[in-house]
Amino acid sequence: MNRNLVFKTLAFSLSTMLLVSCSRNGKDYKNSSRATGWSINDKDGGFQANTDYKEQEAAPGLIFIEGGTFTMGRVQDDVMHDWNNTPTQQHVQSFYMDETEVTNLMYLEYLDYLKKVFPPEEANYRNIYYGALPDTLVWRNRLGFNETMTENYLRHPAYARYPVVGVSWIQAVEFSTWRTNRYNEYVLEEEGYTQKDAKYNVDAQSTFDTDTYLQAPSLTYGGQDDVIRGGRSSVQREKNNTPRANPNNPGGNPEAKDIYVQMKDGIISTTKYRLPTEAEWEYAALGLVGLREYNVYRGRKKYPWDGAYTRSGNRKTRGDQLANFKQGDGDYGGIAGWSDDNADITAEIKSYAPNDHGLYDMAGNVSEWVADVYRPIVDDEFNDFNYYRGNVYTKNAINEDGTVKVLTTEDIIYDTLQNGKIVARNLPGEILQVPVDDEETYLRTQFSDSDNRNFRDGDKQSSRYYQSFSDTDSESDRMYDSPINRISAGEDGLNKEYDKANDRTTLIDDEVRVYKGGSWRDREYWLDPAQRRYLPQTMATDDIGFRNAMSRVGSKSTKNKTPRN
């Protein structure tokens, strides 16, 4: 036999074996399992998974903030001499943040929804709507004429694009939850999983909740048979007369029942609108990304913009104010004309240039609530990754039959806050949450309690092995000697007991939250993103608003990268 022919035959055989081996060993595992070699998304059955998922899309109003390391708490001045900030190096994961503050128009949409779904005319729902109303009386001043804002600022269309104020921290959190559910409701309709415009016909008995839909879809709007039946097929017929491929219905039957989106499908957002943490807010406000790209930091970053001055140095806009703040006693906007900052109270969103992340009004206009419980010191010795103080861990309540407990209209519980405002602790359609217990904390090293707001405060209760020998924690167990105001229901209404003790020394407790950024009422000192202040979470002012954030899942960066098999 020809030797060359033998070598060619052997070479062909080896190459064939290598190709088969590579195929079996999975150079491309897109539609086969790296664990077992079995097919994935086979029409005849088997494991179903979304193998075409690219990356998380930015939800409405949000822009991407790539995470990184920064020095948190680097204040340039300390004229207040409160020393509540010590520079610490922190790392923040990538996340999304609202481009602007939440506006009056956005908040009015929330109020309109509550009023339609939970009519305040019905006694059982009345405080759901009234508990969400901003406090418009925050504009009043005993020696100032501000009734124009009191009567018009929230609802008049002239202020529609102005940041909402008079909202407490608790109300901001509730708005964030509502926004998450309405966005996912919209996505389900757009993807053809629910009937078109069905979201306009819901009532208190059939509201949509994201967690409930993922855990027990048949118990919430979007998973109920009367909404699903004909929903997906009719929507798809309107679009293109053919049903879209459905990961939960690989056969493509448009009349199939129980077609529910699951977390593994990556269709609805499992990360939620929320308040940003203090570390996230400060990192986003600094906008270091532009300086890092050109390697020209050199300590010039005092404000969200580049430089140490509040006026523009650019040729076209030289002398213009870069934020809405109080320039001096009695000077809220400057002299009318060239030096005016075009605002005396709040300003319309996007009135000033954004920072390098594309975020508007991270200095001035209104201060903003963040998620953290306030403490004078950021404990970087315990954690320097995604720092946050305020974790209260809960779990789903489980019925005797093993299903999650979904709340009904009869299960609504109202809380009376210390300021007398009544708010709903939960809403129909939500899964009841209960504190974690020993079943979750036994032999764990990361956490030992459900409530971690006062962890490592220095008080006795912060000790891992602290044990109280009284039925209720005595006042002496508290580290911070803050006032204790009590409110209770009586025959003639609410009985308010004000703390009249003369030995109270602080307002700090577990119900006090951080707010960041300067406002239209503040001097330029507070425009430094590192500055921090605090206020009880039940209170509201005319210069504090908020914006939402959302965690990012998956890669740290949005830059396109070639995936590896």
Pairing of strands 95-98, 549-551: antiparallel
Alpha carbons 413 and 289: distance in angstroms, whole number: 45
290 Cβ neighbours under 8 A, 6+ residues apart: 306, 356
pLDDT for 244 = 37
Q: Is 480 helix (H, G, I), strand (E, B) or coil?
A: coil
Alpha carbons 46 and 251: distance in angstroms, whole number: 12
Alpha carbons 334 and 341: distance in angstroms, whole number: 6
User: Which residue bears the tokens 């299960």?
Assistant: 411
CA distances from residue 238 to 185, 192, 255 in whole angstroms, order as listed: 19, 10, 15
DSSP 367: E
pLDDT for 297 = 47
List of domains in the chain: 60-244+254-387+510-551 (3.90.1580.10)
Alpha carbons 275 and 277: distance in angstroms, whole number: 7
Whether the CB-CB separation of 222 and 194 falls below 8 Å is answered with: yes
What is the identity of the amino acid at 208? F
Alpha carbons 176 and 225: distance in angstroms, whole number: 28
Alpha carbons 59 and 156: distance in angstroms, whole number: 27
**Which of 185, 216, 219 is CA-nearest to residue 205?**
219
Q: Is 233 helix (H, G, I), strand (E, B) or coil?
A: helix
Q: H or E segment at 3? A: helix 3-25
User: Which residue bears the tokens 């010039």?
Assistant: 300
Tokens standing for residue 53: 């998922």
Question: For 467, phi and psi rounded to 5 degrees?
Answer: -140, 125
CB-based burial label for 354 (10 Å; 0-12, 13-18, 19+): middle
DSSP alpha helix (H) spans, 94-168: 104-117, 126-132, 147-152
Alpha carbons 297 and 279: distance in angstroms, whole number: 20
CA distances from residue 59 to 67, 550, 561 in whole angstroms, order as listed: 18, 8, 22
Tokens standing for residue 461: 């209760």
pLDDT for 246 = 40
> From the first residue on, what is the mean pLDDT of each consecutive set of 10 residues in the chain (565 residues)?
55 50 56 86 81 88 95 84 84 97 98 95 93 96 95 97 97 97 92 84 86 87 56 35 37 47 86 97 89 51 81 78 88 77 92 93 96 92 94 95 91 85 89 93 90 83 60 60 81 79 86 96 92 95 98 85 52
CA atoms lying within 13 Å on the CB side of residue 28: 5
pLDDT for 238 = 36
Alpha carbons 504 and 502: distance in angstroms, whole number: 6
User: Which residue bears the tokens 């307002």?
Assistant: 507
**Angle at the Cα of 107 from the Cα atoms of 343 and 529, rounded to 5 degrees:** 50
What is the identity of the amino acid at 273? Y
CA atoms lying within 13 Å on the CB side of residue 50: 15
Tokens standing for residue 306: 């580049």
CA atoms lying within 13 Å on the CB side of residue 216: 17
pTM: 0.87
Pairing of strands 433-435, 486-490: unpaired
26 Cβ neighbours under 8 A, 6+ residues apart: 32, 34, 37, 565
Hey, CA dihedral for 336, 339, 341, 345, is it positive or negative?
negative
**Which of 378, 377, 352, 376 is CA-nearest to residue 366?**
352
500 CA to centre of own chain: 37
338 Cβ neighbours under 8 A, 6+ residues apart: 319
Q: Bridge-partner residues for 404, per DSSP?
A: 398
Residue 430: how many CB atoms within 10 A of its CB?
Answer: 21
Alpha carbons 374 and 512: distance in angstroms, whole number: 6
